[in-house]
Chain A
Amino acid sequence: MAFLGTYNYWIFITLMMIGLYIVIVRGNLVKKIIGLNIFQSSVFLFFISVGKVSDGTAPIILHDGGEAIYSNPLPHVLILTAIVVAVSTSALALALIVRIHESYGTLQEELIHEAERAP
């Protein structure tokens, strides 16, 4: 049963592999960015699920007197900043893609390589 107790890692691995597969197989650069985003999301999910404590609640200290179990706040902090950084880096990547499209007229990796080889 210990095997089933780690199902959160299974989800994370599956998502990560879907992202990796998209990045490798798809020639379209925008599709690669989406694949990278899925890959990133899987890492976020991994961190957050590591911080989860059974029967816990969100790490905002309550004042109704009772003792509560709180989830680990540290992964939340790391992922919170990571999400905002992720959107800025994908915006940068998209900007590069727009410039590539302007120079080569295509977003397919193979066609870009061909255009590179041609004089």
Chain B
Amino acid sequence: MVVAFAIIRRRSLIATAMLSSFFSLLMAGTFVLLDAVDVAFAEAAVGAGITTVLMLSALALTSSVEVQPLKSNWLALVLTIATAGVLFYGVSDLPAFGDAAAPAQRHVAPRYLEMAEFETGIPNVVTSVLASYRGFDTFGELTVVLTAGIGVMLLMTPGVRRRRNQKETDEDAT
């Protein structure tokens, strides 16, 4: 269901930004079906909302028309298919979809599900794992977000550039 639509996305132009927003919305729906309501929430807000707005404002700052590349794509196609083949080979050993006895389901997850509410008093296990059991992880992720914000600020704030140009003209004047 996701695949069929994803193929359409290879059209050029600004429409891809809208298509990727649609793609995110579909992903969010898929996450609900897969019982990941928290993730679906984040994906709907982030992917369908913020990313699209950022993409469109970036396109408004640059050119929105794509020049078609002239080189042939055969090598890339062969490479992609070869990688897919390797992945299909690797995947054939993995446990079936929805298997409750899969190794991923048996390691720490039952401990979280049984004890999380008792230990933290919070019914949403995702929140308690996020903030308590794996708090250090989340701290790291938050640092990444902060760093990205600072990076964008440094790259994009017009003031920085203006000040530097100002200084250059001052130096020229003297």
A115 beta carbon closer than 8 Å to chain B: no
A18-B9, A72-B104, A72-B105 given; A34·B145 CB < 8 A: no
Q: Specify the main secondary structure of chain B where it touches its partner.
A: helix
Q: How far is the CB of B174 from chain A (nearest CB, A)?
A: 27
Whose C-beta in chain B lies nearest to the C-beta of A29? B62
Whose C-beta in chain B lies nearest to the C-beta of A40? B47
Q: Which residues of A70-97 have CB atoms within 8 Å of chain B's CB atoms?
A: 70-92, 94-97
Question: Once the chains are docked, how many angstroms separate the CA of A15 from the CA of B131?
Answer: 31
When distances are taken between beta carbons in the complex, the residues of chain A under 8 Å from B144 are 85, 88-89
When distances are taken between beta carbons in the complex, the residues of chain B under 8 Å from A31 are 12, 16, 66
The answer to whether A13 touches B91 (Cβ under 8 A) is yes
B2-42: CB near A (< 8 Å → 1, else 0) gives: 11001101101000110010011001001100111111001
When distances are taken between beta carbons in the complex, the residues of chain B under 8 Å from A88 are 144-145, 148-149
The answer to whether A52 touches B35 (Cβ under 8 A) is yes
When distances are taken between beta carbons in the complex, the residues of chain B under 8 Å from A24 are 76, 79-80
Across the interface, B36 reaches (CB within 8 A) one of A8, A48, A89, A106, namely: A48
Whose C-beta in chain A lies nearest to the C-beta of B99? A54
The answer to whether B83 touches A17 (Cβ under 8 A) is yes
Question: Once the chains are docked, how many angstroms separate the CA of A52 from the CA of B117?
Answer: 20
The answer to whether A80 touches B10 (Cβ under 8 A) is no
Q: Specify the main secondary structure of chain A where it touches its partner.
A: helix
The answer to whether A74 touches B112 (Cβ under 8 A) is yes
The answer to whether B130 touches A77 (Cβ under 8 A) is yes
A8-31: CB near B (< 8 Å → 1, else 0) gives: 111101111110111011111011
The 8 closest A-B pairs by CB, nearest first: A5-B96, A88-B148, A54-B98, A71-B35, A81-B141, A101-B62, A94-B58, A9-B91
A-B contact pairs, 12 of them (CB 8 A): A10-B88, A13-B87, A21-B80, A30-B55, A38-B23, A58-B35, A72-B105, A74-B112, A87-B50, A95-B152, A98-B156, A111-B67
Chain A residues with a Cβ under 8 A of chain B? 2-3, 5-11, 13-18, 20-22, 24-28, 30-31, 33-34, 37-38, 41, 44-45, 48-54, 56-63, 69-92, 94-99, 101, 106-108, 110-111
Q: What 16 new A-B contacts, CB under 8 Å, besides A11-B3, A87-B46, A95-B156?
A: A6-B92, A24-B79, A41-B27, A41-B47, A48-B36, A52-B97, A56-B35, A58-B35, A61-B116, A73-B109, A73-B126, A76-B126, A80-B39, A83-B46, A87-B50, A99-B156
